[in-house]
Amino acid sequence: MRGSTLVAGIGNVFLGDDGFGVETVRKLREPGRPLPAHVEVADIGVRGVHLAYQLLDGYDTLVLVDATARGGAPGTLYLIEAPEPGSVSPQSAVLDGHHMSPDAVLALLATLCEGAGGTPPRRIWVVGCEPGRVDEGMGLSAPVAAAVPEAVRMVHDLVRQPDAEPLDEEHNATAT
């Protein structure tokens, strides 16, 4: 799988804007704007342990798409180059398979790579969106739903230029 890219949508569709990553990868799979052949898109949802094991297949680049609270206005998009696996300390219990944040997945991946002799992705990007609400209920808030098309564009740009220099990008996709 070396040389390939995995785009993973993360989140819980039953917690409002936490479903941003899942909705974005659903849009990425729609016909009309095909991704390069080296790109695989996966709806991971809340299956963080599954993602960690899938990464043992040896992807070169990982793009995580997730709700990312950083204090911006709801719908603000962030493009973050994540630290390499092993440099992240999980904020939650690593063994809780339904509550694994991306940092916990990366920490688990580092442990799995050590034990299995695998190689973690060379580049890890996060396309994050500032959530407006993460309470119980399905469906994205209006500002987060409006950010999905721009997030799709960001992912397309990333997978076409996986060796781009790290960007400190912030996009506000909310209606003004």
**pLDDT over 90 (residue 131):** yes
Per-residue model confidence as pLDDT tens digits over 164-173:
544 444 544 4
When mean pLDDT is compared across 9-13, 61-65, 85-89, the lowest value belongs to: 85-89
> Do residues 77 and 173 make contact, with C-beta atoms less than 8 angstroms apart?
yes
73, 75, 79, 83: CA torsion to nearest 10: 70
Residue 103's pLDDT band, with cuts at 50, 70 and 90, is low
pTM (two decimals)? 0.79
> Do residues 166 and 123 make contact, with C-beta atoms less than 8 angstroms apart?
no
pLDDT at 63: 93
Interatomic CA distance for residues 68 and 83, integer angstroms: 16
What average pLDDT does range 55-77 have in this prediction?
90
Interatomic CA distance for residues 49 and 38, integer angstroms: 23
Query: Count of CB atoms within 10 A of residue 109's CB?
Result: 25
Per-residue model confidence as pLDDT tens digits over 138-170:
999 999 999 999 999 999 999 987 555 444 445
When mean pLDDT is compared across 74-83, 109-118, 148-157, the lowest value belongs to: 109-118
